DNA sequence: GATGTATATGCCTTGACACGTATATGCCTA
DNA sequence: TAGGCATATACGTGTCAAGGCATATACATC
């Protein structure tokens, strides 16, 4: 359960995050708003807390949970490597990110070692099945 | 295994996606590059294909896989609701989104039913535990 | 057609995790 | 300090998905 990705794979946890995006909430608030049993809420909050997605402060018997964006930001950074695939018309920021992405080392490296790019391949029919090794 | 989130929760699948971000690859390419057994690669590719993350074309016995960005874009859109938490310096678009978010119906509603916002709360000690219902 | 190569699929086992239920902990007010 | 409220945790259970291994399918050369 370590990774950011596994943590947000759970629908209830995503619902909690979305709820907390509006404002901080107590466990009971979440319980009522999302109609899930209290132990379930607490367990998911635990996972989110240990993953750094949320933090809590104590208010008498209540715990108020609020968002901590770092892990989501990390996810955002992971997505960066794919943005150029759908952002053709970009604003300044995205253009900047795209540039970083294109400059990234492995793009060319991998293409080179994987033999050819697809365009070339079409005309490059092998005369015999190429051995694995 | 339906959701985008579950699909990218698997590390090997993320590795495949990252690899395909550089250029299209055959199953064997992926197998060698990521050092995973061929059936594993094929199974993950199947999940990715059914999730709309990749598509394949046939080249003799090979299948060439390439990225289809739609699901990742969807993920990007889900992330949008959280961006304001880490992008303090916003461009026009995000400022717009922020406004929509603040105007969102439940913000005030929820805060009201959860009694008060945290700032106020400090001075607002209840005289008795508020009943659940 | 025989053989080798590339990829997909089926079966089985194992482990992780989400959930329900019960209970523990802690704080409050009377 | 008693009793109720808010939250956390422990335990048992069912489900599901990932991996290993074997095999099936398809294509290409000889």
Check residues A99 and A66 and name the one with the higher pLDDT: A66
CB pairs below 8 Å between A and B: how many? 120
Three-class secondary structure of residue B63 per DSSP:
strand
* pTM strictly above 0.95: no
Which of B3, B23, B78, B133 to mutate to probe the A interface, most A CBs <10 Å? B23
Q: Helices A11-22 and B105-113: crossing angle, nearest 10°?
A: 90
What's the confidence (pLDDT) of residue B87?
A: 78
Provide the pLDDT confidence category of residue B117 given band limits of 50, 70 and 90.
very low
CB contact under 8 A, A118 and B6: no
Instruction: List all nucleotides in chain C with at least one atom under 7 A from a protein Cβ.
Output: 4-10, 16-23, 26-30
CB contact under 8 A, B118 and A24: yes
What's the confidence (pLDDT) of residue A120?
A: 34
Q: Are B65 and B45 in contact (CB under 8 A)?
A: yes
Cα–Cα dist B66/B25, whole Å: 7
What's the confidence (pLDDT) of residue A104?
A: 38
What's the confidence (pLDDT) of residue B2?
A: 84
Q: Are A56 and A97 in contact (CB under 8 A)?
A: no
**Rounded mean pLDDT of B101-125?**
32
Give A-chain residues touching B19 at CB under 8 angstroms: 110
pLDDT over 60 at B58, yes or no: yes
Q: Which of A41, A57, A122 is nearest to B58 (CA)?
A: A122
Instruction: List all nucleotides in chain D with at least one atom under 7 A from a protein Cβ.
Output: 4-10, 16-23, 26-30
Cα–Cα dist B110/A117, whole Å: 54
Least confident among A77-86, B36-45, B90-99: B90-99
Q: Which of B97, B30, B39 is nearest to B64 (CA)?
A: B30
pLDDT over 70 at B69, yes or no: yes
Q: Helices A105-113 and A92-103: crossing angle, nearest 10°?
A: 50
User: CB under 8 Å to B81, separation ≥6 — which residues?
Assistant: A18, A21, B101
pLDDT over 90 at B86, yes or no: no
Measure A40 CA to D10 C1' (Å): 14
Give A-chain residues touching B66 at CB under 8 angstroms: 118
Residue showing tokens 């590059």: B33
What's the confidence (pLDDT) of residue A2?
A: 84
Provide the pLDDT confidence category of residue B100 given band limits of 50, 70 and 90.
very low
Give B-chain residues touching A85 at CB under 8 angstroms: 21, 67, 69, 72
Residue showing tokens 């990252």: B18
What's the confidence (pLDDT) of residue B90?
A: 53
Q: Helices B38-50 and B11-22: crossing angle, nearest 10°?
A: 80
Q: What is the pLDDT of residues A21-64, one digit of tens each?
A: 999 999 999 999 999 999 999 999 999 999 999 999 999 999 99
Task: Supply B122's token pair.
Answer: 């400090």
Q: Using the CB atom, is residue A39 less than 7 Å from strand C?
A: yes
Cα–Cα dist A78/B17, whole Å: 11
C-alpha distance from B72 to closest chain A C-alpha (Å): 7
Cα–Cα dist B24/B66, whole Å: 5
pLDDT over 80 at A88, yes or no: no
What's the confidence (pLDDT) of residue A69?
A: 95
What's the confidence (pLDDT) of residue B88?
A: 65
CB contact under 8 A, A25 and B61: no
Measure A40 CA to C14 C1' (Å): 26
Task: Give residues 86-105 of chain B lying near strand D (Cβ < 7 A).
Answer: none
Least confident among A11-15, B64-68, B87-91: B87-91
Least confident among A17-31, A54-68, A114-128, B54-68: A114-128
Q: Using the CB atom, is residue B36 less than 7 Å from strand C?
A: no
């Amino acid at each position: 359960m370590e990774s950011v990705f596994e943590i947000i794979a759970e629908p209830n946890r995503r619902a909690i995050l979305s709820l907390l995006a509006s404002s901080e909430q107590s466990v009971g608030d979440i319980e009522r708003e999302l109609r899930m049993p209290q132990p379930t809420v607490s367990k998911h909050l635990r996972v989110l807390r240990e993953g750094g997605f949320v933090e809590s402060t104590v208010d008498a018997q209540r715990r108020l949970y609020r968002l901590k964006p770092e892990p989501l930001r990390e996810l955002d950074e992971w997505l960066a490597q794919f943005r150029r695939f759908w952002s053709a018309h970009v604003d300044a920021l995205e253009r900047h990110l795209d540039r970083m992405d294109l400059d990234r080392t492995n793009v060319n490296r991998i293409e080179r070692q994987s033999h050819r790019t697809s365009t070339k391949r079409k005309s490059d029919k092998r005369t015999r099945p190429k051995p694995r090794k």
